[in-house]
Amino acid sequence: MEEAERVELTVDAVAPGGHCVARVDGQVVFVRHALPGERVVAEVTELHRGFARADAVEIVEAAPERVTPPCPYARPGGCGGCDLQHVAPAAQLDWKTAVVREQLTRLGGLTDAEIDALRVTVEPLPGGPLGWRSRVRYAVDAAGRAGLLKHRSHEVVPIDRCLIAHPAIQQLPVLGRPWPTADSVEAVASTGGDVVVTALADGVPTRVDLPGLPAAAVDAPGGPVAAEAGLPGRPTAQVDRPVGSAAVEVDGSAAVREVAAGRDWTLPAGSFWQVHPAAADTLVDAVLDLLAPQPGESAWDLYGGAGLFAAALAGRVGPDARVTMVESAAEGVAAARRNLADLARVEVVAARVETALARRRVTGPVDLVVLDPPRTGAGAAVVGDMIAASPRAIAYVACDPAAFARDVRTFTRAGWRLAVLRGFDLFPMTQHVELIGLFLPPSR
């Protein structure tokens, strides 16, 4: 095969990364824009030792789960943000479930019987597959046009609308206007009704002027306000406009209000928060359901971010119980200390999790652990230190099935078992899936 060559092939099983597997003369080909069982004409996009990548550019025999992508940019050579717009929504859940099963088998070392016993499924979130993304970063090309990146490329695809973006973001006059000095433009629509736009050049926020910014499509009372940054020392352009269409950020971090776990959260607009409006509460509810915290139990919240799980745990274990949160990012630590200031028994530790555990900055025993590590997973050292603290249960929130599966193997080798596994479709139309696993020690 050669790059740009077109070959007709039969598509096999799904694979991580939004691809399906096919073979041509014994060589593995990872094919995007295809479905298992289809006969397609695929154009080779990359050649590597042992495998190739390709896009399905013509469908010879379509699978029954195939649909017309709602977005005109979700096509070969188009935007790379959505991997599965050609797949019916229910079939997307099956696709992601199949990927999770494959990773648990190949990397996690679980048998088919063990996986069957878990009854793994991926659950949809409310709101449907479009209009959910509350944080969007648009790239800007050399001509100053805002858009999104091609798959595995730095090439910008100019667009006029992103259909998975929150309606408030879709209404913003960001696309279709020039950005001559910006490298990227970020838009945030919070669950508290704030909308903030930030233009960045060389990573530095710069002033933007969006006259006539429309009211955001969020539930918020109307009326003219001067939107405020809410953080000291962070000047923000103030523009009279309806509530819910908040200020343009200029030199620092405008604050947005998020609502989750029965609390209000004030955060810098550019800080980490779940991008699906229903995600934070969905994850909190699942973690509490799996751990069933009891009054007086101690708990750790590792990789705690702004303290979402720490707050939820504190509400269950009571005012006399100790909850310790560990976070390394300075912005997350500051947000947690600000937002959890009313919870006297919650300690926020500013450190890398592996360092805090290895150097005994955080010490056991502890009753409960929640961890929400980055895409690389927790790793063997962190898993070992958690186990050494003798918790009665560990809830593992994972955004990457492969990293999660590798940690599953580490747990099982130590005698622990994956007792429950739930999947959530926090990122419809994309390949990504969120998992929450409950690990129990040998005695339980």
Catalytic residues: 399
| Pair 217, 167: CB distance under 8 Å | yes
Return the C-alpha torsion angle 92, 94, 100, 105, nearest 10. Answer: -140
Phi, then psi, of 176 in degrees rounded to 5: 90, 0
Consecutive H or E run containing 383: helix 380-388
SS3 381: helix
Distance from C-alpha of 151 to C-alpha of 155, rounded to nearest angstrom: 9
Q: Where are the beta strands (DSSP E) in 141-278?
A: 146-149, 156-158, 184-189, 195-201, 204-206, 224-226, 240-242, 255-260, 263-268
DSSP 51-81: EEEEEEEEEEE--TTB---SSTT-STTSBSS
Distance from C-alpha of 400 to C-alpha of 217, rounded to nearest angstrom: 32
Distance from C-alpha of 240 to C-alpha of 262, rounded to nearest angstrom: 30
Query: What is the chain's Cα-based Rg?
Result: 23
Alpha-carbon 320 to chain mean position? 33
Distance from C-alpha of 130 to C-alpha of 359, rounded to nearest angstrom: 45
Strand 240-242 and strand 195-201: the pairing is: unpaired
For residue 6, the cross-strand partners are 43
Please name the residue that has the structure tokens 């088919």. 112
- 10 Å Cβ neighbour count for 185? 21
**Nearest by Cα to 309 from 282, 334, 284, 328:** 284
**Nearest by Cα to 95 from 169, 18, 42:** 18
Length of the chain: 444
The angle at the Cα of 7, spanning 52 to 155, to the nearest 5 degrees, equals 55
